[in-house]
Amino acid sequence: MSEQKTLNIYQRINKVMQSVKYVQKDKQVSGGGQNYRAVTHDQVVAVARHELVKNGIMVYPEQLTSKLLQERDLSREIKMHLYSGDYAIHFVNIDKPDDRVTVTINAHAADNGDKAPGKAVTYATKTAILKVLCLETGENDESRAKDTETVSQEQADKLLEVANLSGMTEDDVCRMAKVQFIGEILASSYPVLKASLERMASQPKEKITDDRLQKAIERINAGEFTLAKLNAKFELTEDQAKAVEGGIK
């Protein structure tokens, strides 16, 4: 019997740890107020896979729970949903499958389609490998945790509520925050963004000439402007309000 076959799972993991000590961050993350480099699942696999195979260790995830924390609200065009899953990541001695190390990881993922579950299990597996093998990445999860926390459903609703006062849509809010979906807005950005929207909503309404109003009506009919923005920005006379009512198709 070879020496390796006599090693238990902890001794095998120790062998991997002796050979693999560092994973280079390979992905730039930006947008929504975020700007940092991160380690991807593929990079972790590329670094650790050879030594895991060499030392007879099989790694596989087992899903324990799954839950949608924030569902899509089509009636309000909230496009992002947040998914949560609990996973048991097993590190198995291939020569004695009952000899294993199992770590439990909770993972979240946001997506506007059907990719959130895949993202979550990928993150959980990557995290387990990094932590079990004590791999250095240069990341500081403790200091970055607060910076990556996104707005809650209640905060997203509040932003939309304030935005609607000035005739703005969810897409307008996302453009201000430089994100694709409202669920990606950082919680740390919420106070400043909310204050900006409130200032815009509190601006006094302007008067508008009939010629300018007619151009605004044409833009609304062309889909380049909205009635909500018109009413939020301008103080219309009774005759102008009738012109809008009769002119919008």
Dmax over CA atoms of the chain, in Å, equals 96
Selection from 20-24, 76-80, 105-109, 232-236 with the highest mean pLDDT: 105-109
Q: Is the pLDDT of residue 104 over 90?
A: yes
d(CA 124, CA 111): 16
**DSSP H or E stretch at residue 83:** strand 81-93
Read off the pLDDT band of 143 (50, 70, 90).
very low
Domain 4-148 sits in which CATH superfamily? DNA repair protein Rad52/59/22 (3.30.390.80)
Q: Where are the domains of the chain?
A: 4-148, 153-202, 210-247
DSSP code of residue 225: S
In the structure encoding, which two tokens stand for residue 99, read together? Answer: 């000899």
More confident residue, 233 or 187: 187
How is residue 178 written in tokens? 């430089």
User: Can you list the positions of beta strands (E) in the chain?
Assistant: 27-31, 34-38, 57-70, 81-93, 100-111
Amino acid letter, 60: Y
| Confidence check: pLDDT of 25 > 60 | no
C-alpha span between 228 and 71 (Å, rounded): 26
Quote the distance between the C-alpha of residue 185 and its chain's center: 8
